[in-house]
Amino acid sequence: MNIFRRKYLLSIVVPVIAIFCMLLLISHYYPLSLLSINKQYKYTPESMVAAQYETKLNDLKRSYEKSETNDLTIIRMQQGLLDVYHQDFLISGDSVVFNDEKFSSIKSDVIETRKMLLDLTFSENYDENTKNYLQLLVESLIKMESYIQKAELTDTYSKGELEQVLNKLQMYFYSSLKHFNSFYDSYTNS
């Protein structure tokens, strides 16, 4: 083989390999970046928080199942409000794959829940204590929605930053579930 031809091939192959290696490194350290080959991140939730969350969620579901009523608020809660809290990354002990669609799906669930709660706010009269819990619940959903929006639009997170973002999102959901539980208890006991 001609030496000029070999140099020519090396001048093409070496940069292609270097670019490919850089893309692999970027994909590994910045899994959701624009240059990432596979735009996804495998998240493993905090096991202790996930177990506590699942226990609280199951307790709330059991109290729902016990209440047989024609009350509009309870029916709306049973039909849709509880669904937002049943996210696989919150209750699964296994790793869950996050990508842009996953963030969008979670955000749309939170938005729908917030809208439903706002509808309930104006469709029924609540005692003062229940109103306060409802307000806390709506505020927690608004904070969560804005946090998800921020996380969804940022593609420069490293693996460590994504882990922190998703751990914080897990805590937002846990806090919101507590507010939801307080609102539900206050409403059913008033």
CB contact at 8 A, 26 and 33: yes
Smallest CA-to-CA distance from 172 within 138, 135, 147, 189 is with: 147
CB contact at 8 A, 80 and 112: yes
- Cα–Cα–Cα angle for 64, 176, 55, rounded to 5 degrees: 50
If one compares 69 and 53, the residue with the highest pLDDT of the two is 53
Q: What is the pLDDT of residues 157-181, one digit of tens each?
A: 888 888 888 889 988 999 999 998 8
pTM over 0.85: no
pLDDT(69) > 70: no
Q: What is the pLDDT of residues 117-148, one digit of tens each?
A: 888 888 778 889 988 999 999 999 999 998 88
C-alpha 80, offset from chain centre: 17
Smallest CA-to-CA distance from 168 within 59, 89, 109 is with: 89
Q: What is the pLDDT of residues 78-123, one digit of tens each?
A: 767 777 888 888 887 778 888 888 888 999 999 998 888 888 888 7
